[in-house]
Every structure is written in structure tokens, then in C-alpha cells.
Amino acid sequence: RKYRERVRSIAELEAQGFMVPPRGRRLSTRRAASVPRPARSHGNGASAADRRRVQGAKRFRRSSDLNGCGRLWDMGVTSSSAISPPRALGNGNGSRPLAQIVDVFFNLSDFPAVEDGERILLVGQHDALGCWNTSEGLSFEKEKFGWTTRARLRPGDHVEFKCVVSGPLGDRWEEGGNRTLTVPPAMRVPLVVNLLWEGERPVDSWDDAEDEFDATLDKLKSTLDKLQAGSREEVAPEEEAGPAAQPEQPSGVAYEEPAQEFSFDSLVTAGEGEEVLKTSGTATEAWQGKEIVFMQSNDHSGDRRGLSWDTSRLEGGSCEEEVVLGDQTAPSWREKLEVVEGILCRGSPERKDLSPEAVSACSIYLSWISSGVISCAEGGGHHRPCRHAESSMRMFRSLEWGLEEASRGEKGSFTSVLIRRLFPLLPSFSSEFRASTPLTRIRDIAHRNDIPQDLKREIKHTIQNKLHRNAGPEDLVATERMLERVMGGDGEDYSEDFVQEFKRFTVELREFFSASSLDEQLLELQAGMGDEERGRIQSFLGAKAASSQGESSLSKLLSLMDETTGLRQVLCRALASGLRNDAPERAMEMRQKYRLCEIALENFAFTVASRALNAFGGSEATRSLEEVLALALVLQKCILHLSFNGFLQAECSAISNELLACDNSIRADTSNEESVRLCMLRLKACLDRTRRVCDSYRDSYLCAYADQADRLGRAFGQAVPEHAVKMYAESETRASMVFQCAKICQNLSKNVSRDFLKSDNHEWETLVAGEAQGSLVFFETMEDHTMAQNEGSVSGDKILLLRRATGDEEVSASGDGVKGVVLMHELPHLSHLAIRARQEGVVFATCTNEEEINKLMEGLVGKYVKMDASQQKVIVSETERPKVQQVVEPATTGGPAFHEAGGNGHRSLDIKKTSFLLAVGTRGSTRETCGAKAAQCGELQRMSADFPASPYKVPRGVCLPFGSMELVLDMQPRDARGQWEANLSKMDRLLGSNSGGQELDEACKSLREMIESLDVPRDFVDHSICSHFDPSGSLIARSSANVEDLKGMSGAGLYDSILNLDVNDPESVAEGVKKVWASLYTRRAVLSRHKAGIRSQSEACMAVLVQEMVASEHAFVLHTADPILSEEKERYVYAELVRGQGETLASGMQGTPYRLRIEKATGKVEILAFANFSEVDYSKDPFTQEPQRLVELGEKLCTLGEQLETQFGEPQDIEGALSEGSIYVVQSRPQE
């Protein structure tokens, strides 16, 4: 009824000559004849000559490009999403022709209720929009997410328009001023415009309408003039954009979501224009919530209708459930902060053991709140910001203590990174914000007499009252939008005093929301600092200002990066003392400022690193040595920033030291080509090590955020858009410093390998050369392949693509038909896995480049491929599958080590078991009584003793011969010997029936537990073993089985060695002996023997070699015939060297050892690689500091290898150690 009366009133006024504004919500009693008409007239559906615009069009702003389909513009006061039209086709060369006509798609969401017979129209002054005639306007069509229509405009067209609901009873125009749109002059793609229905506001009184009309009319001409000039200006792209805010997804809109598994290489190959930079942008830039509307009255709502929470998929009592249940009864920001406080503090003033799950859940929750994804509403009552500040102080205390705990040790915990993410999400608790009436400046601003009444009301109701009643992140966004407006955004010329006062308030509010700029934080912080610290800040600010003037060179950015890192290091040292339990409030306030400032410095360093990478350019072009060294130093600063975060700090510090040492080494002699090559090898080793740190960070981010964000997103329902959930973990990684480290590392690796090491195969490392064909199948581990083989899901010839390996796996024992292996990380060439692959003729290569791995994963997995691996290159390509492929049947008998050539007979494993429990010296050990390893050690001892000038020493030792374990079994109660024999028989039956999986695992586990629980007589261990060694030393218990160290089956790494046994503790030595016995029955050992043709597991016997443990400074593995080369391998000796014990080489730990190739005839040493294992500071290693020492060691190892090869009559696999200037040989076995 009111609507019909209003329509009739409008018609009567128009008939009498009165002018009705097009806004449809204000009616004027002033006659049109008395109002001067502007040059351009507008209308609302009646006569165009009698319509006039009453408020300037709001300025448009550029939004992000969705999926590359056109440019997306948000109009008016909306910030909704739209579906982009299909991508326009190119012209064949990748470019698009300039369009003469541009398709402009208008999408309307939050649309009005439409009655029968009514339709929604788009009407404007352009011919395509009906020239303000509703009968000729464009009609919106109903879609799932809203309404859409299309207009055909020309590039450069400037149009004004509005939305209107037209029906039999008249037209209902949306409120607000006319919208404006300028079609960019160089459009090659469709344009997408998002609109939000601005609603209709009923008229309360004719007098109010007339007053507003008069005030609006006075501002009309200046507003129009300014907007006409400004709207045609081209929008220049920002040089450095902040993290791209994801558009809000309307209900029913499908987005193509990227997979949660991502790689740094896939991220860094995007164009520079698509790069996500981390800057200290305003809150408005990151806002993804509802559009801010300036209010003339208190229209803030506590309505939360439409929201739903579902905790059915959350674990009961978990922190995730606590967050979601708490949010149901916490509409306001204050109440939401108290939910987080309850989790982080648990009602106690001190809680130092923050769990990573609790911290990450709170981080996700507060991030969504701060960006507006989860909206805040009125919570009822008046709660000033001091309440928020007090809660923040309590949480800050708990987080600081948690950070201290998480950062302990050399590795720290990733929880420290998660905790640091929370600090900027908490409000400031400075004393001025904890006062009973904080932020009072806005009250004085709202009562000024030099601003219009409507602006007063908007400031009062939108900001002042809301802020003092229920403050929330939306208040900062509203304030920044208002600041844009008072600084000229609405065309008004406000007094300078008012503008400056509003600026001061905005700065205060940013400080309260922990959103101050870096400069603001530093200038405030330096007031309480000493002269040295203030000088640091001034030096940084000077370098920052200098870098912003003109084009920044790489050297200038390196200087800025150095200043940034040094300043942050000063702040971190000040924070390193920790927070005392009785710290006063003033100390807490200062600590928060320090903490926020050092975090902001890391964010700024992120941007500087990005600029440095841009200045360096792409990796395709050849770069000078000076440019490579400068970017390497930028990387060093980035790594140093990571070391400040409390996670992998020792590793990051070691990498930083090595990068600096490498730079100094290169600059010392740039004229010597070989010296530069060695330094570049050293730099490459450091880059590979950096990449592993980046991978650890990436995996930790995914582990912490991916699944938890998904569970929380589902629990919050439609309140959280799906894309915000799916992209959370990736966006957090991309916004971290480790993202820049990965990008720089990738670019430098390519340049170093190609331009200085002359390698075209830097992404690959060939461990076993050759050619193989088979189906490319992906598994996480070799164990997964074994399980799939047992289930019958894979068969035939295959090439395995493995994500990780320990280095101790068996190739053939994992399953039949393995012809090749591609491993996704580095592995020592002489690790046990690589050795066994070489012995079995399995082609083996590693690949560390994720781009290459993605090509395999996405294009070749599941296809029949050919793998061609050489030292120069590795090629994996699709090939034709043989017409008849023979399926390899499991081998139950037969094997090169245990069958006579050409016969079917089983070769006997002749051994002699002892009848007494005793220990014999290694020089008295024989193959029949103690195994090949112990016998070989005895032979080495004799050789070393017979030749005083021998280049090596052998540690002393004793051996528990074959049969010792059985004798100890006989000493146990309850027929332990019978149980052991019964378990062996069961294992043989399982292997004979090709049964595996859980039954075999249980049988192996049962045998190991039985052996490890044996009671070995203490007196026997003390007198027969310990008494033979120096009481001040340590011992090592090593295996010497009758099925290892044999020609054709070395069994390297198949059985355990137990280190660091206390010679003064017989029980410790006994435990070591039992663990070596038990290693005879690990799953991989059992399967390996079965594959080798051993008919019964009872035939395998274990002797234990106990030796004095050498205090190894470096350990080495030496092959007297180069196993890497496919031809002329006998001409060279190949060696790998690591710091510490040799288990690093044998275990397959990720990293690269020192690699040497020595020509036997000339003694020429070639350094192939420098070591880069984690947790070692190689800047202090003598072989890295002085490569000549490595050359001299290579010459000695060559002499040693040739001597042992001659003595034993065949190529040898030698293990040894360096200690106090001497070379110790602990083992020598046949190489093949």
C-alpha cells in the first residue's frame, strides 16, 4: 500500500512540474524551473529532460583478474564476485586483437525481491542502456548466483547508469548516486562488472528530503567536474602489489580449485605480474568481508541469520571444536578474541606448552576474522576497546612463553612459526588503549563544526559509536575508506585541520589493530632506544628511501637487505632474553612493539628480496659472476631471516655462514678458472641444502594448515568461501620468506650449473647408468610398492617414481619387475640402496627439480616409458609397449650368490658353530666360524701389522662366533630355543606360499622381540669382550653374517650396527650384541635372503664383531673401480667422504657427500661435489675451506685402494675413517 501511494505521489508531482531525483528515495518540493540544469540531463524512467543527477558517481577501482578472463571492475560500494565469461580466443600467436566492440557483462548480486510482472533493468545515458528510458533498458536474466546482462560498448566509452526494478505499478530505483564506468581504451578481452543492489530507503519526511537535495545540489557541479576528469585517467598498475585478496564466492558459483599438493617451482614460474608480494598494505587491501556502508543512523546489526555451524566432523574436545562452538555464541570481535584466549591461556596466567594444533586453529580463525571472511556482529552492550586490549595482553604473554619453548634447541619447532603468525592478529595493549575511555579523538572529530552534518552523522554512527561499543576489524576498513573520502575522494574540499586530525586518528586506530606501517612502528620505537639502536633505524630508513628513488640496482637492494637484516637482528637479540613471569605491564607493552616491528621487518625483507630477484632477471639469460654473487648474498640474508624464526635455526645459520664463506672464497681469486669452478661447486652444494630447508618449511605449512583449514571451513559452513579454505595453506606459504628463498635458489641453481659448471643435467643425478623400459608407477616409498605387489595391483616391468627413500631398502626384494628407479631427492652414490641397485642392474637416478618431477607426475605416470640415464643427461620418455610383455614371476629359488653356474643345485652355506660361549680375536676369525666380514677384518689387521709403512690402521676387535646366539637361547627358561625354531618354520611357510604383508611382519617382529629379550650373562660380556679394550673408549657392535660380504651379494647395510656402546657397562654392550642378532630377522633382511635363493631362514647365521670405535672426524667409502662410469671404470678410484661417522653415507640420509674421482695411473684428483648434509657448518670444515686438502686426501685414498685391490685380487668396497691424521680401515668387501 505504501509503495502504491508513493508511486501515485511521484506521478502527481511530475504532473505539476516538480523534479523527482533518480535515486528513488528522496522527493523534493522545489520546482524544476527554479533549479539550474546541468549540461547533461538524466532520468529515472519518465522524461529524460526532467531528470537530474543528485550525487556524484562513486569512483571505480580496479579489482583482480579472475582466471585471466577480462578485467573485473567493482562498481559503487560493492565488492562481490562475478563469473568471468569464457576466455577469448587468441589470433594464433598468443596475442589478442584490439576489440572495436567490447562485451561488458554486468552481474548483480544481493538483488531485490521481484514481484510477479516486475523485472530488473540496467538503465543509463548511453544508447546501449536506453538513454535513461526504462522501456529501452537492458533486462537482467536470472542465474544461479544472481542476475546478469550484457552491453556492447566501445573502448573509451564513459557511461553512467543505475539499476531499477520496473513493473506495472511503476519503477523502483536503487538508492545512491549514479554509477559510472569508463571502458579502458585498449581492451582486448571482455569486461566484467560486479554490482550489488544498494537497496531502497523510504522517505521519512519531505523536509529531510528537501534539505538533503539542496545540500547535494550545491556539491553537484564540483563533484561532476572532478569525477569527469578523474574517471578517464588510466589506472597504473602497482609496482608492488600486496597479497592478492581472494574474491568472495557467491553461493552456487563453482571455482576451479588447485590441488593442495603444490611445489615451489610451480609457484615461482608464474609471471612477475602474478606474484604475491608481502607488503605492509592497508587493511582495505586485504579486506574480503562485507562492503563498508557509511550510516546516517545506527544501522549496525547483530543479526547472524543464515549462518550455520557443523561440528559433526570435528574430534570431540579438540581445539577446532572449541573454536567453532565458541564462535556460535561470540558474534562480536571481543567475544571471538575471548574464545581464542580460552584456548591459548586455558584460564591460567602461564601456559608454556602451546600445542601446534591449538596455535594453527587460532591462527586460521583470527586470519579469517581479520580479513572479514568471518564477519563480526553486534554482541549487545557497550564494551570499549580497552576490553580487547586486556584480552590481547593475556594472550600475548602466553604466546611469548610458548614461542620461547618452541624455539629451544638447534632445530626448534615449527610451532614457533605458527605462533609468530598470531602476533599481528592481536590488538595493541598499549596503556592508551587499556584506558577506560580509549580512542577519544574520534568523538571530538564527530562533533566538529567545520564539516557537513551528513558527514558528522556518518562518522558518528559508522565509526565512533560502533568503535566504542563493539570494535572490530571492519572499523579500521571503514576509517580508511572515510580517510580516502575526506582527502578528496568525494570531491569535497574539507578544512586542513579536520583532514589532519582524521589522519591522526587513522594512525591511532591502525596502531590499535596492529596495522601500523613499518616506518610508523620504527619511529615510535626509537624514542626508547639507545644511540646505537637509533642509528641503526636511521640508517635503515635512509637506505629504504634511497632504494625508492629511481630504478633500484641489485647492489643497492643488497645494501637495503643488509640494513633490514641487521636491524631485525638487533630487535631479535633484545627479545632473546625471554619474558619474565613478573614482567610489568610497561615491559609487556614495549615487548609487543619490538615483536611487531621485527615481524614487519621480515615482511619488508620479503618485498626487497622480490625486487632483487626482478633486478637479477630470469634464469634463461647468462649472468655475470658479480650478479650471481650479489643474488647469493641476498639469499644469505633471506636465510638469516629464517634463522630468526625459531625453526631449523642451526641449519639456517650454517647455510648463512657457508654462503658468506663461499662469497669470500670466490672474491679472493676470480682469475683462476679452476678456483672459480670449485667455488661454484661449493655454492651449488649450498643451494641444494637451502632447497631442502624450503621443502621442510613447505611440508610443515601443509601439515599445519591444509587439513585443519578444510575441517574448520566445513564446520563454519557457507560463512567461509570454499576458495579461502582450499588456498589457505598455499597462501600462507607464498606469503612467507621461504617462498622468496625457493625462487632465488631455483634461479641461482640454473645459472650456476649452466654458466659456470657447464652442466645441462643439473636437475638430475645418475647413480646407476643404463637404459630401462617399463610402466612408470608412483609410490611414496619402496614399502608402498611392496604392499601393492603383494596385493597384485602392479605387475610386469616397471620404473618406480619414489618420493622418498631411507637408503636401506632392497630393490628386487620390494617386488618383481623393477627395471629403474627415479627418486625425488638426493642420495649418496655409495648408499646401500644405490649399491644394491647397481649390483642388480637397476637403472637409478635422482631428480630434485620439481618442474621436472611434475612433468613425470602429470604426463608420464601410468604410461610405458623408456629411461635412458647417463652421466651427461637423463631422459624419460613415452615409448611403445612391446606387443608381448613377459610378466616376471616371483623368484623363489635361484640367485647369483648361491647357485652353481648352469646348474639347479643349491650352494651350501658351510659354517661351523661354536659349542662354547666365547669370544675370539679378529685375527683368529675365519669365514666358517665368524663370517666374511670378521675374517676380512682379521686379514686387514695382519696386513697392517706385517707392513709398518702401511697407509692405514685397523681398529682392534673381538668376535662372537656363529652359534653364540643359539647357546644363549639354550640358557633361557621355557624352551626359548623351541619357540625360535617354530617361528623360523612359520616364516619359511609364509615365504614359500608367497604370503607377505601383515603376517610376515608379525612373524619378523616376534622373532626380534624374542632375541632382544634374551638374558646374556654379564660376566661373560665383561671378561670376554669388555676386558680387551681401553676403558676410556667406546665400542661398536657390527654384524658378520654368513650371508653378507660375499662375492655377488655384499648385503651392505642389510643388518644393523650399534654405535657408542660403553665399554665400562657390560649391560650396554650386551644390548648392542642382541640388537645385532635381532637384525637378522628384519623384514627386508628376510625378503632379501629369500630373493637370493636361501631355502630356509634357519640357514642364516649371525656372528657379532665388536670393535673399538674410532673417534671419526670424517668417514669415507672407497670403490677401487668407479661404479658411476659405464666404461673404463677400472681406470679410476671413486670415493665419498662425510663428516662424522660413516652411517651418514650408508643410511641414505638426504644430502651430498664430498665426491672424488682419482685416476689410478696419474693420481689426478677431480672434485665432483662438495658435501651439504644438514646440521653441519661446512664453513668450518677444513676440506671445504681448503679444497687442496681434499685433493691430497684423494691421492692417499687412491694408494690405499690400489694396495687392497692387489692384496685381495679383485675390486674392493672399502669403509674407513679419518682420525687424528691417520686413516683407519674398518671393513673391506668385494665390490660386486
Catalogue the active-site residues: 832
Which residue type does 1084 have?
R
Sheet holding 61-62, edge to edge: 61-62, 71-74, 191-196, 102-109, 147-153, 141-142
- 655: closest CA among 1190, 1188, 1184? 1184
Distance, CA of 1104 to CA of 1039 (rounded, Å): 5
- Identify the DSSP state of 111: P
Distance, CA of 391 to CA of 349 (rounded, Å): 11
The DSSP H or E segment spanning 164 is strand 158-167
Tell me the residue length of the chain: 1232
Q: How many CB atoms lie within 10 A of CB 712?
A: 25
Which residue type does 96 have?
R
In three state form, how does the secondary structure of 696-747 look? HHHHHHHHHHHHHHHHHHHHHHHHCCHHHHHCHHHHHHHCCHHHHHHHHHHH
635: alpha, beta or left? (left if phi > 0; alpha if psi -120 to 50): alpha
In three state form, how does the secondary structure of 819-870 look? EEEEECCCCCCCCHHHHHHHHCCCEEEEECCHHHHHHHHHHCCCCEEEEEEC
In the three-class reduction of DSSP (H, G, I as helix; E, B as strand; rest coil), residue 141 is classed as strand
In the three-class reduction of DSSP (H, G, I as helix; E, B as strand; rest coil), residue 1177 is classed as coil
Distance, CA of 473 to CA of 283 (rounded, Å): 8
Q: How many CB atoms lie within 10 A of CB 994?
A: 11
Judge residue 430's burial from the number of C-beta atoms within 10 Å of its C-beta, 0-12 exposed, 13-18 middle, 19 or more buried. buried
How remote is the C-alpha of 395 from its chain's centroid? 26
Judge residue 432's burial from the number of C-beta atoms within 10 Å of its C-beta, 0-12 exposed, 13-18 middle, 19 or more buried. middle
Q: How many CB atoms lie within 10 A of CB 166?
A: 21
Q: Which residues contact 1156 (CB under 8 A, 6 or more apart)?
A: 1134, 1135, 1136, 1137, 1165, 1166, 1167, 1168, 1190, 1193, 1194, 1197
Distance, CA of 15 to CA of 32 (rounded, Å): 12
In the three-class reduction of DSSP (H, G, I as helix; E, B as strand; rest coil), residue 73 is classed as strand
Distance, CA of 598 to CA of 521 (rounded, Å): 10
**Strand 957-960 versus strand 920-921 pairing type:** antiparallel
**E strands along 975-1113, which residues?**
1034-1041, 1058-1062, 1102-1108
How remote is the C-alpha of 636 from its chain's centroid? 19
- Identify the DSSP state of 1097: G
End-to-end CA distance of the chain: 99
- 916: closest CA among 962, 947, 872, 880? 962
Q: Which residues contact 352 (CB under 8 A, 6 or more apart)?
A: 401, 402, 404, 405
The answer to whether 1202 and 1160 have CB atoms below 8 angstroms apart is: yes
